[in-house]
Structure 1
């Protein structure tokens, strides 16, 4: 017996989910595992069968009381606090049956956060992956773009306005603490904002339920504020390299250096096409430091080298002399122009990218993730495979 995966298709702010849904569907069928893609509006048009497991990215699913017993895999790409409605269902009223859900998170530290802070036992680490079917040969010749960056930008002041509105109305005793983190936090001094914030609120002596609410409401806005503030600092530091930006947000309204070219946002399938025409991908993911972003895996699959914020997971997985070069957020921005020029001039870079491609397609491809998802289901619900359990 095998599970039947029902991949739930729904609208999201992340266009990459469309590519992931197609890639997982393709890879499940390649493994001989039954799968289907189902629009969210039709996902529960009939009762779930015993062997079925629904799968959605982030919280893509019809969350209703009558369907709460359907086995479900939620693959989250954000910090758990961004999905606190799920993790605090007893407070939010979200119709969730936790024993029928498994949550996969893309950062090892985030997985531990979900288990410890939200006391959710069915959390496992499952990083991003490349969705391209086969590698594109790396080459330093004939590529249209020297450097590309895919990333959004939000209104930082609006994030602060919403943050302080909540704090002033609901937790005024914490305003001084939040102001301190707004004004003094630095990725270099404390790369994990959630750890630093959690330690500080615990020292104030609040009980666990209040700490959960505080982290779930304050951390996401603080994270967005500092992440985009640092991203803008990064872009403004680049004055020599020709950098092409593709992403949502007010990029075009900013007075950026003349070497920065801002393009309209593009869907993920076009992102892969651009990566195949780029020599260096600039990956800015300062909060994902124990995981690997799909931009890194996709870029390597497309034969493009990567200059990325640090990740202990990527360093461990890709090893030395690979196609990824790292920099420290909040520290190395002023040196990035020089590093980019070194990468562009390096005759060994295509060979290093090729070495990384081998690792990506052996360990961090959607075909591998399809196998891992099958194993996750087997470990959690062995009865789906016809084995005792449940």
Structure 2
């Protein structure tokens, strides 16, 4: 099978590294893979057309966050140009990508990072809008660390007690630019979302709209329902800031990486700050860490790559609850999960795990074995191939 992977720009190199891992995994299967690097430009049309003119047919085109709405001057899609199905993985909250979704042809196979986002696409745009939409959980990135032989070796080889990665977003007054009754609707949806452990943003907003008598089946109301992405932003900001303050109060020793933290470092009694780093560097730091913190980006039924990458690097993970993590891990044995509605208990658990390298070692050892067996790119590419088959002409 000939496979084309479109590799675009990426902040901190994340999706570019994903593309490299995907290409390597397909090659290990014996597939012929070509990577078209579009990272040098925002206007991908010219290099894509130049490449397609002499590239021949591909059996599968894969991209991450880019090129879903590609059409040339004659209206041809990527599938038209290259002959094979296009599989597009969207790693951000799907309703924050509404312009891309509207432009993406129905023949595209969509992969999303939370199964409730699959539900959102089907509910808002209709089950026939795309030929295939499915959940694609993040695979681990980086290289598998050699297993630590003992808890003592784990402690000696990993000088970072707790690693915390990700940019800081300053909470802001919500609904900037939103006027009139829409503000009250969004605030009611936000209040509902924050009143429970987790609910999908589109469900919170649909619930409020339904109580106001809105007919959710009316296509004229699609735009109103798409504003669930604003609810997602506010839930994410609110809870991440709550988490920041709670972690700071524990005093656990931290190594923090990410942009925008300078104004918050005064909160931490025992923290080293490295600033923003590329994802390759992040993988290196995970291999030097005993415990890695994760907040799941408001994907309460889905994934982030961080717990899997941490496990691959031989570190334990502490994360907010996700239905997916609860299914694929064994909380309390190979991952520690906390609940937003009981953050105090979560911080007690974090402090205890950070102070117990033997237990962190046991978690990490079990999680690495599980990740190697089930959560690498070598395993996930089957989902890409299946998605392509579902829309293949």
Classify the TM-score, shorter chain: 0.7 to 0.9
The one of 110, 115, 119 aligned to 1:108: 115
RMSD: 2.4
After TM superposition, give the deviation of residue 348 of structure 1 in Å: 3.8
- Confirm whether residue 148 of structure 1 aligns to residue 175 of structure 2: no
Instruction: Judge which range, 4-13 or 315-324, deviates more.
Output: 315-324
Q: Deviations over 1:62-93 (max 9, x none)?
A: 72244315131110112220111133x2xxxx
After TM superposition, give the deviation of residue 281 of structure 1 in Å: 0.7
Cα gap change, 1:226 to 1:372, in 2 (>3 Å): closer
After TM superposition, give the deviation of residue 183 of structure 1 in Å: 5.7
Cα gap change, 1:252 to 1:334, in 2 (>3 Å): farther
Please name the residue that 1:264 is paired with. 275
- Confirm whether residue 126 of structure 1 aligns to residue 136 of structure 2: yes
Please name the residue that 1:386 is paired with. none
After TM superposition, give the deviation of residue 291 of structure 1 in Å: 1.7
Q: What is the aligned residue count?
A: 364
Instruction: Judge which range, 102-111 or 250-259, deviates more.
Output: 250-259
Q: Deviations over 1:182-238 (max 9, x none)?
A: 56641635543331112111222334334321232x322332222122112212112
CA distance in structure 2 between the partners assigned to 1:252 and 1:54 by the alignment: 41
CA distance in structure 2 between the partners assigned to 1:241 and 1:156 by the alignment: 24
After TM superposition, give the deviation of residue 375 of structure 1 in Å: 2.6
SS state of the match for residue 342, structure 2?
Answer: coil
CA distance in structure 2 between the partners assigned to 1:60 and 1:83 by the alignment: 12
The one of 9, 17, 27 aligned to 2:15: 17
The one of 227, 232, 238 aligned to 1:223: 232
Please name the residue that 2:4 is paired with. 6
The one of 306, 310, 319 aligned to 2:330: 319
Q: Unaligned 5+ residue runs, structure 2? A: 39-43, 80-84, 149-153
CA distance in structure 2 between the partners assigned to 1:343 and 1:280 by the alignment: 7
TM-score (normalizing by structure 1)? 0.85
Please name the residue that 1:289 is paired with. 300
CA distance in structure 2 between the partners assigned to 1:61 and 1:13 by the alignment: 19
- Confirm whether residue 75 of structure 1 aligns to residue 89 of structure 2: yes
Work out whether residues 158 and 288 of structure 2, in 8 Å CA contact, stay in contact via their aligned partners in 1: yes
Q: Deviations over 1:161-199 (max 9, x none)?
A: xx341x31xxx3322222334566416355433311121
SS state of the match for residue 49, structure 2?
Answer: coil
CA distance in structure 2 between the partners assigned to 1:142 and 1:321 by the alignment: 24
CA distance in structure 1 between the partners assigned to 2:239 and 2:61 by the alignment: 37
TM-score (normalizing by structure 2)? 0.85
SS state of the match for residue 155, structure 2?
Answer: coil
